[in-house]
Structure 1
Amino acid sequence: MITSAANQQIKNLIQIGRKSKARTEQDLFLVEGIRMFREAPRDRIIKTYVSETFYAKADTPAMLEGLEFETVSDHIFKLVSDTQTPQGILCLIRQYHYTIEEILASRNPHLVLIENLQDPGNLGTIFRTGEGAGVTGILLSRNSVDIYNPKTIRSTMGSIYRMPFIYVEDLASVLPALHENGITTYAAHLDGKNDYDRENYKNGTAFMIGNEGNGLSGELSSKADRLIRIPMEGSVESLNAAIAASILMYEAYRQRR
């Protein structure tokens, strides 16, 4: 059992949890909690860590069968955990590496393009909702929040394991490839010509979602095939990025059902 914060494994777990650079260099990320553990593909789990209290549960040994794991004292586990009330289990997982070709391989793509999103909860919610709405891939600008941020991972509720995604230096640079594959791009924008539910999303579709505070950049929105708007009542000008994305994704899903 690991009982010291000076243990090299514990130091490394803390670095991976807190530092994007450490995650990138080691090509790993952390997931925490029983649900995230159960849904994790076994072939991607590098190592599992459990608290002494969790390990003492009757069903834990069977749950860990075939996996490399370490037990950690409850006190040390709390140092590593990113949550207020740790469930007592976390895993090191190999990162995912998709290609644009894989993301465009779907017969009828339903994509989301994310520009400079900064809130981990928003990104995680888009991944989770996107899976539910049949999104086939997510493209993110390099300046968007790290998908492997523990808060983002937690917000995906397991969708991180199943939703293809890539980061690109410049979203505008991938638009020609989208057009070559018959994908129409739609920018959620205050200057949208049509309400979002007046468009046809039954064929290849890509929704552009911008930064929480500034929305889409003028450069990217100017390259969209269509500007669409979500109608508002009262004095509200715009919605939270994740909520706006959810409305658009589910409208496409509704039309395709």
Structure 2
Amino acid sequence: MISKNLLKQLLELQTKKGRKLKDKFLIEGARLCQEAIQSDWAVEQIYYSQSFKDSEAGRKFLSQAKQKKNNLLLVQEKVINKIAETETPQGIVALVQKKNFSVKQVLTKNPEIVLALENVKDPGNLGTIIRTADACGVDAILLSQGTVELYNSKVIRTTMGSIFHLNLVDKLNFPEVMPELKNSGYQIAATSPQNGKRIDQLDFSGKICLLIGNEAFGLSEQMLKLADIKITLPIFGKAESLNAAVACGIILYQIALQKNKSSNL
């Protein structure tokens, strides 16, 4: 059973305001919940339905969750349908605590690749970028003030669990952060629609911070001025530009290839 008061609190987490006040967020689906319990993020409670419990995926997941001593609560299907935000919920929702990293904490770990996102607005783009960054070996992602909320449910779903693999810092003032990165030995590489170098002409062997800007307007002039190098991806067809997530993926993959020359890819 679940009380009306608890249900109300969970429903509040469907809003940005509620997530900010509680410092928690909800995830749904077996894949995301699996990634969460295998990570070092704090999973406070897992709610599941009878139909999920009876499914093969449910039996496997619940067995693992019990081994990890997660808090499990069987609830009615209608409760899952209320607290889940997808049209066809999978029968499982988890309550997770946010992780509040600082730039200083991230840099202490001396990450080789840092991705910095300025004013990325689309939740789907942000989620895709996080997933792509994870696949390319990025260690940390920095999000500027004005970027879509990191814990937006669509962002979380689109990451496919990669959010739990990375160090992420949001709501940052980039004009203050970039000098800190430079002082820590990072080369700042910025995407630019013109007058930049091609990625195959650049050396990414050192510590690198890649700057990606807003989908419509790109990076601000202030960020472009702070960049050590500018990268331009040439357009060979009639499209005006590349999607921000696609452009980010192309550059990150090139960086990853250079940093993993010795691997058997």
Runs of 4+ displaced beyond 4 Å: none
Q: Does 1:25 align with 2:21?
A: yes
Could you tell me which residue of structure 1 aligns to residue 216 of structure 2? 213
Unaligned runs of 5+ in 2: 261-265
For 2:174, give the aligned amino acid: L
Following superposition, the deviation at residue 30 of structure 1 comes to 0.9
Which of residues 148, 156, 160 is equivalent to 1:145? 148
Q: Does 1:180 align with 2:183?
A: yes
For 2:184, give the aligned amino acid: N
Aligned to 2:214, the other structure's residue is in SS state coil
Unaligned runs of 5+ in 1: none
Could you tell me which residue of structure 2 aligns to residue 46 of structure 1? 44
Could you tell me which residue of structure 2 aligns to residue 248 of structure 1? 251
Alpha-carbon distance between aligned partners in 2 of 1:225 and 1:245, rounded to the nearest angstrom: 18
What's the RMSD between the two structures over aligned residues?
1.8
- Superposition pairs for residues 26-175 of structure 1, below 5 Å? 26-41=22-37, 44-57=42-55, 59=59, 62-65=63-66, 66-107=69-110, 109-175=112-178
- Percent identical pairs in the alignment equals 33
Q: Does 1:12 align with 2:12?
A: no
Q: Does 1:236 align with 2:239?
A: yes
Aligned to 2:149, the other structure's residue is in SS state coil
Check conservation: 1:108, 1:203, Cα contact below 8 A. no
> What whole-Å deviation, never above 9, does each CA across 1:149-190 have from its counterpart, x for those lacking one?
111111111111111111244212111111112111111111
Aligned to 2:108, the other structure's residue is in SS state coil
Alpha-carbon distance between aligned partners in 2 of 1:195 and 1:56, rounded to the nearest angstrom: 53
Aligned to 2:13, the other structure's residue is in SS state helix
Matched residue pairs, number? 253
> What whole-Å deviation, never above 9, does each CA across 1:95-140 have from its counterpart, x for those lacking one?
1121212322344521111011111111111111111111111111
Aligned to 2:258, the other structure's residue is in SS state helix
Alpha-carbon distance between aligned partners in 1 of 2:84 and 2:242, rounded to the nearest angstrom: 32
Check conservation: 1:47, 1:67, Cα contact below 8 A. yes
Following superposition, the deviation at residue 192 of structure 1 comes to 3.2
Alpha-carbon distance between aligned partners in 2 of 1:53 and 1:139, rounded to the nearest angstrom: 39
